[in-house]
Amino acid sequence: MKNNLGSTDRVIRIILAIAAGALYFFNITSGTLGIVLVAAGAVLAITSFINFCPLYAILGISTKGNKAR
């Protein structure tokens, strides 16, 4: 697995994961929509922590900046 997430992308994913969890746990969303949001938030959090997004790899996308040597 080659890292393909930049720091800005990781922060945005973590914020969205927290927001999805908060919407569910404060009963703003419930039922199927709530479960889907929690699942999506979990995927966002996991991909952020491992610094790799499989969908980005399939599409050939990388938000990780190239550092000058």
Confidence of residue 2 (pLDDT cuts 50, 70, 90): confident
Is residue 4 within 8 A of residue 56, CB to CB? The reply is: yes
- Find the domain containing 30 and state its range: 7-59
* 69 belongs to a structural domain: no
**What is the reported pLDDT for 65?**
81
For 50-60, the pLDDT digits (tens) are 999 999 999 99
* 43 belongs to a structural domain: yes
* 66 belongs to a structural domain: no
pTM, to two decimals: 0.85
**What is the reported pLDDT for 41?**
96
* 67 belongs to a structural domain: no
Average pLDDT rounded to a whole number, residues 42-67? 90
Dump the DSSP string for the chain: ------HHHHHHHHHHHHHHHHHHHTTSS-HHHHHHHHHHHHHHHHHHHHT--HHHHHHT---PPPPP-
**What is the reported pLDDT for 67?**
63
> Number of structural domains, the chain?
1
